[in-house]
Amino acid sequence: MRALYINYKRHKMVYWMTLPVILYFVVFHYLPMAGVIMAFQNFSPKTGIFGSEWVGFQNFIDFFNSPNFIRVLKNTLALSLLDLLFGFPAPIILALLLNEIRARLFKRTVQTISYLPYFLSTAIIAGLIHDFTSSTGPITTMIAPLLGKTANLLSLPEMFRTIFVTTNIWQFMGYNSIIYLAALSRVDSEQYEAAKIDGAGHWKQCIHVTIPGISSTIIIMLILNLGQMLNVNFEKVLLLYNSAIYETADVISTYIYRQGILSHNYGYSTAVGLFNSVIGLLLIVSANYVSKKYSETRLF
């Protein structure tokens, strides 16, 4: 306690500067948690949190018994896993490739272009995708020979996951590579020289020097990503999906949206949201545990 006080005395300004951040988390992330009570209620905005009927786990039971439960869970996991499988390595590969480029002007240009989609709003991205995949859109026309038909790609359940994951890569690859590029710049150049003397080529250098050099960053990012896994890009799914492709496109968050906001089942959708968060927490804790066990790197 006393140590803390001394520390406070010495770094007064620093402590005060953290205050807004702490307030932000308290106001926007901790206080709203009290709202999870709604998950155990038959909530009505008229009676509010204190007056609504208490129904225990009924909302959860309804969700688990609902025919949509398996589907939304499956879709959420499938989209997240595919996104992780293809979307997670993409920025690392891009960063490694950029790292090999010596022509600075070219490198800068590629970097800037690859960031651009990240700064477009999801609504615009979705609009672009809609146009490109409409029955006369350029992408549809391009892959029509492969499909054997021309149809609006967003009306084909089997195409949604591909569209979602590839456009995600396009949208986020450039921006996400920044952190890896920063990590790459910290790799000790003496190690490269040592490797060269030992006769390692570009490939070997990459495998034995570069990747181990940024492995801690990769693992931290992986843990963070796992925690976010069930929060698939909600706005994007919502803007892209339609009732013809609920089969593959309806995820937990869009289901919550339809049930809770549009149909006013607040209690029910809070329960579904809470379920989503609990799974997310389990994932991040177990990823951290595994990482702690097998390597030095961990988040907490």
Nearer to other proteins, 140 or 171 (CB): 140
- Interface pattern 27-66 for other proteins (x via CB under 8 A): ---------------x-xxxx------------------x
Residues 117-136 that bind other proteins (CB under 8 A): 130, 134-135
Burial 6-27 (b: 16+ CB within 10 A, else e): eeeeeeeeeeeeeeeeeeeeee
What's the CA gap between 132 and 234, in Å, rounded?
Answer: 21
Nearer to other proteins, 263 or 286 (CB): 263
Q: Which among 238, 226, 224 has a CA at the least distance from the CA of 164? A: 238
Q: Are 274 and 63 in contact (CB under 8 A)?
A: no
**Interface segment toward other proteins; rule CB under 8 A; list 28-36, 174-182, 263-271, 278-286:** 263-271
Under the criterion CB under 8 A, does residue 7 sit at the interface with other proteins? no
- The helix (H) or strand (E) run that includes residue 116 is none
Record the tokens describing residue 148, joined without a space: 């054997």
Amino acid, single-letter form, for residue 252:
I
Under the criterion CB under 8 A, does residue 206 sit at the interface with other proteins? no
CA 134 distance to own-chain centroid: 27
Nearer to other proteins, 193 or 247 (CB): 247
Under the criterion CB under 8 A, does residue 239 sit at the interface with other proteins? no
Under the criterion CB under 8 A, does residue 157 sit at the interface with other proteins? yes
Binding site for other proteins (CB under 8 A): 42, 44-47, 66-68, 130, 134-135, 150-152, 154-155, 157, 242-244, 246-247, 258-259, 261-266
